[in-house]
Amino acid sequence: MDSFVLPPKLLTDLSSAVDTIRGHPFINVFSHFDADGITSASIIAKALTRAGKEFSVTIFPTLNDENMQIIENCGAECVIVTDLGASYIKRFDAMSCDVVVLDHHTVYDQAERICYANPHLYGIDGMVAGCGATMAFLFAITLDERNWDLSSLAIAGAVGDRQHINGMQGLNTYLLDGAVERKFVEIRPGSLIPSGDLVEEFTLSLEPFIRDVSGNPDAVKQMLSEAGIAVGKRGSDLTPDEAERLSSMVAIKLISQGVTREKFEECAHPVYYLSKLGMDAEVLSALLNAGGRSETPGIGVGAGMGDATCMEKAAEISNESRKAVMDAIVSVVGSDNLHEMGNIQWFDSSESGSTGIICSIIMCYLGNPDKPTIGFNGSEEAAHISSRSTFSQLAKGIDLAAAMKTCCTAMGGEGGGHKIAAGGSFPRDRKDEFLHALDALIASQKASKTA
Ligand SMILES: [Mn+2]
């Protein structure tokens, strides 16, 4: 099979990143708290351990001015930043220590002094074809070929950032092909039916989100009985007939709730089974995401590094947070808390949190598929905003990275991310002003595309 060829400039940058860290016995690692950031940090931590280095890992919910100051004042001789950093390259350049940034977010500045690798710098789309974990992994195998086993983590990172949904692309192809060849990963056919206990999984699973069924065990049992399937069965135990009846029923429900073809195909995407870990990449990704977002994100990194106690704890946190997120979605959807404006739709999740996940589910399964979804969490003085779009909206000119940057900055805050998924923050009392500014900006993005 023709695999993806890594661009020469990327290889040069990776080698110089490896040279940069070689001379340092202790390295300060900074990363993001989502699945991609946690897998990135775990990959770096494993690679540094194997290279005989000592290190510390700090996990941030976001890189803002306050956290940037923490990095600037950490007194490190060498810093590695993963899945974060693209919007602060000038500040990293101005630091006096050695810095390696391995990010995939939109590029604003080129580095002058530090070592900065980002797919966008090599003409590769970091939104879909290489994530933080991919970059961390490429760094790890440049450091030592034996780090190929960390490809399992990197694939979980890419899945966490949803880069697999239209098939792995670009740098992720290189990662996946190599991992399959080395038997760390097996590609299995996808399904609309979860493999575990059907009542439990359909009740807690966010994907696919079935309106009036997901989150409600009685409705799940009703659906199973209509399909002639006994309560208590596991997805993996269904006969081919049962599996077919149940998937058609789920498919019909999804079509009738207006799920787009784009999303539908995405649900049936193949599954990456991580042979050495005995679980799907999506399951690992969910565990690490939950661990990373908890009060003690070290649990996520510990689990990523293979610690059994951390893994168990992460599974517990993950199940609790699945329940909480499900409740939050049901409360947003059930209470008419989703508001449509001319060009956007928005909801308030100040009570529930989990804004980003709710935003994704509403965008894909429940909201108006033609308008970007915005989540507003005003539980703190600085409100946190999440936004999600779809590929068909992007084709109409929508760019949430630019929109969030412009509108959050205009409100005295900051924002950025990817065209399809972006976030930001600003003082919470400027919510209405922000929503109107954003609605107008999205309108002008669409207009300038058609013009
Ligand atoms: Mn990422």
Q: What is the CATH number of the domain that holds 368?
A: 3.10.310.40
- My answer on whether 149 and 229 are in the same domain is no
Q: Who has greater pLDDT, 144 or 191? A: 144
CA of 67 from ligand 1 middle (Å) equals 17
CA of 387 from ligand 1 middle (Å) equals 15
pLDDT band for position 2 (cuts 50, 70, 90): low
Summarize the confidence of residues 17-33 as an average pLDDT.
Answer: 97
pTM: 0.77
pLDDT band for position 70 (cuts 50, 70, 90): very high
- My answer on whether 221 and 124 are in the same domain is no
How confident is the model over 122-138, as pLDDT tens digits? 999 999 999 999 999 99
CA of 417 from ligand 1 middle (Å) equals 9
Q: Who has greater pLDDT, 352 or 304? A: 304
Domain limit, last residue, from 185, 212, 247: 185
CA of 223 from ligand 1 middle (Å) equals 36
Mean pLDDT for all residues in the chain: 93
Winning range, highest mean pLDDT, from 293-297, 328-332, 362-366, 443-447: 443-447
The answer to whether residue 294 sits within a structural domain is no
| Sheet (strand 414-417) strand order | 339-340, 345-348, 373-377, 382-388, 421-427, 414-417
The answer to whether residue 374 sits within a structural domain is yes
- My answer on whether 206 and 175 are in the same domain is no
CA of 406 from ligand 1 middle (Å) equals 21
Q: Note down the domain range covering 362.
A: 336-450
E strand map for 16-120: 26-32, 54-60, 78-82, 98-102, 115-117
| Helix locations, 61-184, DSSP H | 65-72, 89-93, 132-143, 151-160, 171-181
CA of 350 from ligand 1 middle (Å) equals 24
pLDDT of 183 above 90: yes
* Strand pairing class (271-274; 279-280): antiparallel
Summarize the confidence of residues 299-305 as an average pLDDT.
Answer: 97
- List the one residue out of 199, 195, 233 whose CA is nearest residue 216: 199
CA of 132 from ligand 1 middle (Å) equals 5
- List the one residue out of 209, 84, 85, 83 whose CA is nearest residue 158: 83
Residue 352's pLDDT is what?
84
- My answer on whether 340 and 251 are in the same domain is no
Give the count of domains, the chain. Answer: 3
- My answer on whether 149 and 209 are in the same domain is no
Residue 93's pLDDT is what?
97
CA of 276 from ligand 1 middle (Å) equals 24
CA of 252 from ligand 1 middle (Å) equals 33
Residue 1's pLDDT is what?
47
How confident is the model over 189-212, as pLDDT tens digits? 888 888 778 998 899 988 889 999
CA of 131 from ligand 1 middle (Å) equals 5
- My answer on whether 208 and 166 are in the same domain is no
CA of 256 from ligand 1 middle (Å) equals 33
- List the one residue out of 64, 73, 124, 76 whose CA is nearest residue 100: 76
Q: What is the CATH number of the domain that holds 149?
A: 3.90.1640.30
- How far is it, in rounded angstroms, from Cα 43 to Cα 25? 18
- How far is it, in rounded angstroms, from Cα 198 to Cα 271? 18
How confident is the model over 345-401, as pLDDT tens digits? 999 999 888 899 899 999 999 899 999 999 999 999 999 999 999 989 999 999 999
CA of 34 from ligand 1 middle (Å) equals 7
| Helix locations, 268-354, DSSP H | 281-293, 298-304, 308-334
- Residues 397 and 445 sit within 8 Å (Cβ to Cβ): yes
By the CB criterion, residues less than 5 angstroms from ion ligand 1 are: 36, 83, 131-132, 161
CA of 133 from ligand 1 middle (Å) equals 7
Q: Compute the C-alpha angle 318/389/400, nearest 5°.
A: 105
Summarize the confidence of residues 1-21 as an average pLDDT.
Answer: 91
pLDDT band for position 97 (cuts 50, 70, 90): very high
How confident is the model over 247-282, as pLDDT tens digits? 999 999 998 988 887 777 777 778 899 999 888 899
- My answer on whether 28 and 166 are in the same domain is yes
CB atoms < 10 A from the CB of 117, how many?
A: 26
pLDDT of 437 above 80: yes
- Residues 149 and 184 sit within 8 Å (Cβ to Cβ): yes
- How far is it, in rounded angstroms, from Cα 18 to Cα 7? 17
Q: Who has greater pLDDT, 195 or 228? A: 228
Summarize the confidence of residues 165-176 as an average pLDDT.
Answer: 94
Element (H, E) at 391: helix 391-394
Q: Coil, helix or strand for 203?
A: helix
